[in-house]
């Protein structure tokens, strides 16, 4: 979310889905590979460490949806 120009991977929100189930394709946040799965601070390596540093999945989903809505509004106006 904070690395413009880097490729994004879609991280499916994990909460409220039950063991071993991922969220729908509408409940995703864009994460670069480093923060998604390729480092010690990635979500899949240490969810708690990730949440402590970047916020919860739900917080990031809300931020993503707000940014998307703002982009859509700007496109509509201009």
Q: What is the mean pLDDT of each run of 10 residues along the chain (78 residues)?
A: 78 72 82 93 94 95 94 92
Domain range annotation of the chain: 9-77
How far apart CA 53 and CA 60 sit, in angstroms, is 12
Q: What's the pLDDT at 18?
A: 60
pLDDT of residue 25: 82
DSSP letters along 5-51, please? TS--EEEEP-TTS-TT----TTSEEEE-HHHHTSSTTSTTT-HHHHH
The DSSP secondary-structure symbol of 37 reads T
**Would you state the structure tokens that stand for residue 69, as one six-digit string?**
């809505």
């Amino acid at each position: 979310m904070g690395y413009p120009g880097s490729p994004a991977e879609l991280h499916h929100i994990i909460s409220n889905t039950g063991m071993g189930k991922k969220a729908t394709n509408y409940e995703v946040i864009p994460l670069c590979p480093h923060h998604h799965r390729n480092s010690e601070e990635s979500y899949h390596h240490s969810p708690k460490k990730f949440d402590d540093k970047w916020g919860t999945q739900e917080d990031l989903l809300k931020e993503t949806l707000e940014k998307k809505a703002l982009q859509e509004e700007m496109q509509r106006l201009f």
